[in-house]
Amino acid sequence: MRLCAVCAALAVFAAIAVAPAQAYEERPMRLPSAGAGASAASAEPATWLIAAEPGTRGADAIRRRFGATKLRVGDVYKVARPRARAFAAALRRVGGLRYAEPNAPLRRASAFDAAPNGYSRGYIVAPGLVPPTPGRVAIAVVDDLVDVSHPDLAANARQLNPGPVLGPHGTMVASAAAGAFNGSGAVGIFPSALVLSVGLPLEISCADAADGVIAATRARAKIINLSFGSASHCASLLATVQVAYAAGSLVVAAAGNEFAAGNPVIYPAAYPHVLSVAALDRNLAPSGFSSENTAVDVAAPGVGIPLAIPAAFDGEDGAIDGVTLANGTSFAAPIVSGAAAWLATARPALSNGQISDVLRRSARDVATQGYDPASGFGLIQMAGALAQPTPEPDVLEPNDGISFIDGSVFAKPDPYIWKGSGRRSLNGTADRVEDPIDVYRIRLPARSRARVRLRARFGNPDLYIYRSNAKSVFDSSKILARSRRATRRTDSVKITNRGRSARRFYVVIRVGNDPRGTLNAAYRLELQRIRLRR
């Protein structure tokens, strides 16, 4: 019951008017338009991403035939737009087409209308609070290559894919997180923390971003900063951030600067297990540009931030001094990344999920009382995070969709949590902001019956059972049974296998509507074999 008390203290928020952000698809099927005219080609990306089912026989030969290149994540291929439909059809003929989507562009989340006065670090780090000596905890900046010759970053940054510095953005982002205490220039939240620079092209695509995240994951970066985004969902990028999370990395992303442009939901910030960061102004109010939605986790200063800038791009503010001021969630995000790296260094026993929870729970409320979609849980606070009690771990993550546990994204399926023998129970949590869905695999023996119970320890979790052939939790036609009782009530369903062989089912838990506006839930899942009636 201790966890329930913590949840009750943290999670009773005002009802949120903004629509939930987690509207992603596990298996999108969007192919180029059939027309080959100039208008069709100009309206769509030049390349497409086609994913094959794991283990598809002949997939590599098909790839070669259509001139496709393989991404670093799973069986995902990039192919030229004119060949995409035929490539997908070839995979479909052998039963191997998993999804298809455009290789959508992503934009850096910065706004270069510099403000007159710098500030920011003092709102996060209390006077006299001394950071630990940087160690092996690395912040990966997946962006423009960082200028490793800049005085603010020369001692602690290195390029994973060395090359020319094509733009200033990566250097600016890195300095917000880890700029050195060297008597001049920009000082990061965690000065001189190790920065691993993963260079991206000037024009970023979904495939570029996905490969960059995997490169950062393979380099064992504890924190991965993504200061870019798009209103277009990209299943390939969703998969890579879940792979990163499973490997122990915490992905921090800019919430986006699109509030005044219709306020679309921005990805990858809106994906599960990504710490989404909004921007505040000097008065600690939500900036006029920062995107608002229920994926926003925390906030940090994002207006008039002092940042390092490469010499080749310096001087637009009238001074050649290696420093500039800039706005954007692009720079709020690395402030949080720096804080996360400091926390991981000072408290190495924390998992990536616990680091995220600690930063959220210790944040200072700055906008509407309680959680709100403009600032999330509020302004991160370094001293509060260091003193925050350790949260209970959320086991078996990431399991926010069937593709994450059935072997489609990862090398092999998750083990069955129950195989129909006796009783099994486990505790879990779900959260509309960060962890909206939990999926578990179970197996029921031939000619047997089971009862599945979901006891709400806090909030309103709902229970669904999906058939064995389900590929996505968003395919309602595959729902076998459901129970959606009111807050703090027990949901219960019975499932039967009258066949001659064991059958697989998916147990899916979602956070249901709560009249108090509660966004998270804690539960106990119980599975029990019962007598089969003839």
Two structure tokens written together for 422: 């006796």
d(CA 194, CA 221): 9
How far is residue 160 from each of residues 70, 165, 262, measured CA to CA in Å? 20, 13, 37
Instruction: Mark 59-68 as b/e (b = at least 16 C-beta within 10 Å).
Output: beebbeebeb
User: Count of alpha carbons within 13 Å of 132, Cβ hemisphere only?
Assistant: 19
DSSP character at residue 161: S
Q: In DSSP terms, which residues pair with 301 in a beta bridge?
A: 280
Two structure tokens written together for 353: 């999920």
Active-site residue, from 75, 143, 211, 394: 143
Burial class (CB in 10 A: 0-12, 13-18, 19+), 528: middle
Respond yes or no: is residue 330 known to be catalytic. yes
Dihedral sign computed on CA atoms, order 275, 279, 283, 289: negative
Two structure tokens written together for 399: 């399991």
How far is residue 199 from each of residues 152, 160, 312, 388, measured CA to CA in Å? 19, 8, 17, 35
Respond yes or no: is residue 477 known to be catalytic. no
d(CA 108, CA 39): 27
Select from 144, 153, 141, 190 the least CA-distant residue to 323: 153
Do residues 330 and 254 make contact, with C-beta atoms less than 8 angstroms apart? Answer: yes
* Sheet of strand 204-205: strand arrangement: 204-205, 105-108, 228-229
Report which residue type is found at 516: R
Residues in contact with 52: Cβ distance below 8 Å, sequence separation at least 6, in sequence order: 59, 75, 76, 77, 91, 96, 97, 98
Angle between the 329-346 and 169-178 helix axes, to the nearest 10 degrees?
40
Active-site residue, from 150, 169, 233, 273: 169
Active-site residue, from 110, 330, 356, 403: 330
Reduced to 3 states, what is the DSSP secondary structure of residue 447?
Answer: coil
Do residues 343 and 355 make contact, with C-beta atoms less than 8 angstroms apart? Answer: yes
CB count in 10 Å sphere of residue 479? 15
Please spell the DSSP secondary structure of 493-534, one letter per residue. EEEEE-SSS-EEEEEEEEE---TT---EEEEEEEEEEEPPP-
Two structure tokens written together for 316: 């637009």
Respond yes or no: is residue 249 known to be catalytic. no
Active site residues: 143, 169, 330
